[in-house]
Amino acid sequence: MAQVNEGAVPVAEIWRGGLLESTHLGHAVICDAKGIVQAWGNPDAVAFPRSSCKMVQALPLIETGAADARGLTDRHLALSCASHEGAAMHVGLAGSWIADLGLKESDLRCGSHEPYDRTERDRLIKTDESPCQLHNNCSGKHSGFLTVTQHLKAGPEYVEIDHPLQKAIRAATEETTGETVAGWGVDGCSAPNFAMTLGGMARAMAKFAVAREGHGARESAMHRLTRAMATHPELVAGEGRACTELMRAMDGRVALKTGAEAYFVAIIPEKGLGIALKVLDGGHRASEAAIAGLLVRLGVLDANHPATIKRMAPITRNWRGIETGTWRLAPGFPG
State whether residue 62 is helix, strand or coil: helix
Mean pLDDT of 257-285: 97
Tell me: the pLDDT tens digits for 131-189? 999 999 999 999 999 999 999 999 999 999 999 999 999 999 999 999 999 999 999 99
Domain boundaries, the chain: 9-329
The structure's pTM equals 0.97
Q: Which segments of the chain does DSSP mark as H helices, in order?
A: 54-57, 59-63, 66-69, 74-80, 88-100, 118-126, 139-152, 164-177, 198-210, 217-231, 233-236, 242-249, 284-297, 306-312
Distance separating alpha carbons of residues 29 and 13, to the nearest angstrom: 20
Q: Dump pLDDT digits (tens) for 225-252.
A: 999 999 999 999 999 999 999 999 999 9
Q: What would the DSSP string read from start to end of 193-216?
A: EEEEEHHHHHHHHHHHHH--TTS-
How big is the chain, counted in residues?
A: 335
User: Quick check: 115 pLDDT over 90?
Assistant: yes
Kind plus residue range of the DSSP H or E element containing 19: strand 19-32
User: Does residue 1 have a pLDDT over 80?
Assistant: no
- 82 phi, psi to nearest 5 deg: -90, 150
> Which one-letter amino acid corresponds to residue 116?
Y
The CA distance from 45 to 276, in Å, is 11
Which residues make beta-bridge pairs with 153?
none
In this prediction, residues 119-139 reach a mean pLDDT of: 97
The phi-psi region of residue 333 (left if phi > 0; otherwise alpha if psi is between -120 and 50; otherwise beta) is: beta
Looking only at the bridges linking them, the beta strands covering 315-317 and 323-329 are: antiparallel
Domain 9-329 CATH (choose: 1.20.120, 3.40.1130, 2.60.120, 3.40.710)? 3.40.710
Q: What is the dihedral of CA 240, 276, 3, 261, to 10 degrees?
A: 10
pLDDT > 90? residue 335: no
Instruction: Return d(Cα 291, Cα 198) in angstroms, integer.
Output: 14
The confidence score (pLDDT) of residue 309 equals: 94
Strand ordering across the sheet containing 183-186? 46-47, 192-197, 183-186
Cα–Cα distances in angstroms (integers) from residue 205 to residues 107, 192, 296, in the given order: 31, 20, 18
Taking the C-alpha atoms of residue 294 and residue 311, their distance in angstroms, rounded to an integer, is: 12
Quick: pLDDT tens for 284-328. Answer: 999 999 999 999 999 999 999 999 999 998 898 999 999 999 989
Beta bridge partners of 185: 193
Q: What is the amino acid identity at position 17? A: G
CA angle 96/141/258 to nearest 5° reads 130
